[in-house]
Structure 1
Amino acid sequence: MGIVKLAELIRNVAPDAISYKTISDYSGKKISVDASIVLFQFRTAAPEIRNRDGSHLSPLVGLFYRTLHFLENDIRPVYVFDGLPPEQKEALLERRAEAGGYTRAQRPVSNQVQDCQKILKLLGVPYLQAPSEAEALCAELVKCGEVDGVASEDMDVLPFGSSLLIRQLSTKEDRGVVEYSLPKVLKTLGLTHEQFVDLCILLGCDYCEKIGGLGPKRALALIQQHKTIEDVLLNINRTTHPVPENWKYLDARKLFLDPEVTNQTSRSLSWEEPDEEGLVNFLSHEKYVKEERIRRRMEKFRRVREDRKQRGSGEGKQHQTRMDDFFRVTRSRQAPDAVDQTVSKKSKF
């Protein structure tokens, strides 16, 4: 869910905090990437793409394509994987599982995550395992100066404190990347970061219920006037705006302002040359992806990178190859044509 209607509120009251860019604008930048968002996008975009053994490979192969696309555009990604969700989020995850027709214990995700991490290692791209929420660690990497921004579709990145949120970074459209500047949001709204976190809780977040009947504009006006949730509670009509019983807003506030992150943020992140033979061995010999497709894609990667080096510019955007060109596929139904770039719900591993 992220933060309910936060993007809409920013568009309406702080439009100067939003910039529309192309992927080439991030050439030379280090970007932390919320891995669960990426894998969820590929799972939902092509849910029936499988190899000859019937294994579901769209997240794995999609990650391979997308990471090469970033590297071709001189973007240095560091992927961050979710750890254990905070206790406050358990009820929400159970509701999502029920709505999706599965139980969380039934989802075979650990092997898939390990495979994705192996792909990243073979591509020479660093990754981190968050102790809890990936977006919290993504934001921490920005705050400690390890990366320049966070690529995610989840607006939670802003209350977690990242100064820059980049949405739709993988888009092929001109000016299709949407960038949110937290300092500009705070300046325009006249809020401190702590007050902004309280606003996000009032809007509705993953970690607690929200006050009933409270829309975005009203929530903003209340925080601008009263500064804290405590003072808001003293100045609202609880008949028209019922407050949840045993409302755990304090826990939600602490999760945003003092999240559980790892000391791995202090280590130096490094990017290495891709191991083509290792990729071929893993994807072709172990996962039965067609070898000629991998060789062809890696050849294209080398050619694009060499062209960029010769031009010495930030141009040369490349289109991503179709995932189903990679292996022999079987489909029980037609897969969607494209990934929904605006997805905000994500499946936790």
Structure 2
Amino acid sequence: MGNADLRSLASLREVEFAEIEGSVVAVDAHNWLYRYLTTTVKWTSDEVYTTADGTEVANLVGVVQGLPKFFEHDLTPVFVFDGAVTELKADEIAERREKREAAEERRAEAEAAGDAVEAARLEARTQRLTDTIQSTTRELFDLLDVPYVEAPAEGEAQCAHMAASERVDYAGSEDYDTLLFGAPRTLRQLTSKGNPELMDLAATLENLGLTREELIDAAMLCGTDFNEGVPGIGPKTALTEIREHGDLWAVLDARGAEIANAEAVRELFLNPPATDDYDVDRDIDPDVEAARRYVVEEWGVAADEVERGFERIEEAQVQTGLDRWT
């Protein structure tokens, strides 16, 4: 289901940080990191984050600029990295690759035409989480004592599982799929200015008069990352059809339609691969000086681009109380 489709069904409200301070949030690392990565690339000279051999580590700038928001509001992030990509998502991954390649071609044309602004905009669209970005992000998290979890498959599914098992207080993602994966409460807009947005599963189901299974069925009728929807069905029609016919299979029968791998997709949302082999430690003790050396000296990132982020992390240690951090 497209983001706009599921947003129109979800129960959402803005929350003050004071309402959620002291909480632990399982953050979809791919989702969070990609947003900071693309923003850094779009608005920062590539000389800032490119090593002498041409390796790009814009992620290090993004991490240092993004983490303070958690610490300043007394939130403990537990970042969840994607594991193996499910075969059901192969078409989605291929489509993203095609879009990235098309953006790369347009970027080259913009550069040749001397359009630096358009080239920078398109450069942001070509970003992907390379092996170097993956490894250096984890190494920086280790230095800053930020916990992270390796998911067996989809990161947002693992976040939802952690929130549903109540080992963390919230899932954290811009992806509405956490709702379908069963996250009771998801914090959105953690990479944006201002307060976050709370997406509530129980309130969503109550407002719509649906079970979680019926919500998944409605989403599948519209289309998700794992399946094509039924032509002509949007969120309102999907709700009407589910209420009238009862479930996905009855709707498909009534319309003479089909969804490839429908049973597998539905099962994926209901029982996604997830692990309980992790610890949630709220006692964070970041070694800011070691992290600063790692980013600036080892990877050559311009010091003035990350210094304020490191200062904010140090200030947060004092603001939230040393007993909270050590």
Answer whether TM exceeds 0.5 for this pair.
yes
The residue number in structure 2 matching 1:81 is 81
The residue number in structure 2 matching 1:132 is 153
Q: 2:263 aligns with which of 250, 268, 274?
A: 250
Letter of the 2:212 partner, please give it. H
Matches for 1:52-201 after TM superposition, within 5 Å: 53=52, 54-101=54-101, 109-173=130-194, 176-201=195-220
CA distance in structure 2 between the partners assigned to 1:28 and 1:136 by the alignment = 23
3-state SS of paired residue (1:166) = strand
Deviation at 1:189, TM superposition (A): 1.0
Is contact 1:223-1:229 (8 Å) kept? yes
Is contact 1:4-1:203 (8 Å) kept? no
* Deviations 1:134-179 (CA, angstroms, capped at 9, x unpaired): 0000001101111111111100000100011211123333xx4221
CA distance in structure 2 between the partners assigned to 1:222 and 1:35 by the alignment = 35
Identity over aligned pairs, percent? 30
Letter of the 1:167 partner, please give it. R
The residue number in structure 2 matching 1:23 is 17
Is contact 2:219-2:235 (8 Å) kept? no
Aligned CA RMSD, in angstroms, stands at: 2.5
Deviation at 1:4, TM superposition (A): 5.7
Letter of the 1:178 partner, please give it. E
CA distance in structure 2 between the partners assigned to 1:212 and 1:150 by the alignment = 31
Q: 2:276 aligns with which of 259, 263, 282?
A: 263
CA distance in structure 2 between the partners assigned to 1:129 and 1:94 by the alignment = 23
Letter of the 1:222 partner, please give it. E
Moved more, 27-36 or 52-61: 52-61
CA distance in structure 2 between the partners assigned to 1:232 and 1:256 by the alignment = 19
* Deviations 1:86-126 (CA, angstroms, capped at 9, x unpaired): 001112211210121079xx967122111001111111110
- Larger RCO (CA under 8 A, 6+ residues apart): 1
Per the normalisation by structure 1, the TM-score is 0.77
Is contact 2:68-2:312 (8 Å) kept? no
The residue number in structure 1 matching 2:34 is 40
Q: 2:301 aligns with which of 277, 289, 296?
A: 289
Deviation at 1:29, TM superposition (A): 0.6
CA distance in structure 2 between the partners assigned to 1:9 and 1:144 by the alignment = 24
Count of aligned pairs between the two proteins: 294
CA distance in structure 2 between the partners assigned to 1:164 and 1:293 by the alignment = 34
Deviation at 1:294, TM superposition (A): 5.2
3-state SS of paired residue (1:184) = helix
Indicate how the Cα distance of structure 1 residues 108 and 149 shifts in structure 2: closer, same or farther if over 3 A, else same: closer
Letter of the 1:286 partner, please give it. E
Per the normalisation by structure 2, the TM-score is 0.82
Letter of the 1:221 partner, please give it. T
3-state SS of paired residue (1:9) = coil
3-state SS of paired residue (2:277) = helix
3-state SS of paired residue (1:206) = coil
CA distance in structure 2 between the partners assigned to 1:4 and 1:73 by the alignment = 29
CA distance in structure 2 between the partners assigned to 1:302 and 1:107 by the alignment = 30
3-state SS of paired residue (1:234) = helix
Is contact 2:180-2:212 (8 Å) kept? yes
CA distance in structure 1 between the partners assigned to 2:2 and 2:168 by the alignment = 22
Deviation at 1:30, TM superposition (A): 0.4
Indicate how the Cα distance of structure 1 residues 284 and 46 shifts in structure 2: closer, same or farther if over 3 A, else same: closer
The residue number in structure 2 matching 1:223 is 242
The residue number in structure 2 matching 1:233 is 252
CA distance in structure 2 between the partners assigned to 1:210 and 1:164 by the alignment = 26
Deviation at 1:268, TM superposition (A): 4.2
1:277 paired with 2:289, answer yes
CA distance in structure 1 between the partners assigned to 2:280 and 2:234 by the alignment = 43
CA distance in structure 2 between the partners assigned to 1:163 and 1:107 by the alignment = 30
Is contact 1:151-1:166 (8 Å) kept? yes
Is contact 2:296-2:302 (8 Å) kept? yes
CA distance in structure 1 between the partners assigned to 2:129 and 2:308 by the alignment = 31
